[in-house]
Amino acid sequence: MISPGTTRIRVTIDNQSIEVETGTTVAAALVLAGVKGTRISVDGEPRAALCGMGVCQECRVTIDGGSHALACQTLCREGQVISVPHMMNAR
């Protein structure tokens, strides 16, 4: 999937460091890292991106310490630190 010559950047998702292609959204990076969801609903259920375009707010996560950031409208940057609720982590 990754074409040669494209720039890779490294982000950290809850202590898991992964490399992604430049231009990748945080929403995509979460899936690449095997994260199961983005937030816990009022009734305690896992949720993940629904609308993919900044409307539904389901994909909000904490990025570089700022809470409620929309993963679908944020691009990955070198050294970015992303965190999601504990129950979402694959490991």
Partner 1 sequence: MTQHFDIVVVGAGPAGLNAAHAAAREGVTVALLDDNPRAGGQIWRQGPGQPPQVPLQRLLADLNQQSNVTYFSSTRVIAPLGAHGLLLESAGHGGVGIRYERLILATGARERLLPFAGWTLPGVTGAGALQALIKGGMPVHGERIVIAGSGPLLIAALATARAAGARVVAVVEQAPAFEVARFGASLISEPAKLRQAVGMTRGFTGLRYWTSSIVQEAHGEGCVERVTIRRGERNVTLACDRVACGYGLVPNVTLAHALGCAINEAGEIVVDGEQRSSVGGVLAAGECTGIGGAELAAVEGELAGLSASGSAASRAVLHAQRARWRRFGRRVEAAFALRDAALVAPAAATLLCRCEDVSLGEVRAYPDWRDAKLHTRCGMGACQGRICGAAASLYFGWQAAAPRPPFSPARIGTLMAASEEPPLAE
Q: Which is nearer to partner 1, 7 or 15 (CB)?
A: 7
Q: Which of 11, 13, 14, 60 binds partner 1 (CB under 8 A)?
A: 60
* Binding letters toward partner 1, positions 67-86, x by CB under 8 A: -x---xxxx-----------
Half-sphere exposure of 20 (CA within 13 A, CB side): 24
The Cα 26–Cα 63 span in angstroms is 9
In the complex, what is the shortest distance from the CB of residue 29 to partner 1, in angstroms, rounded to a whole number?
7
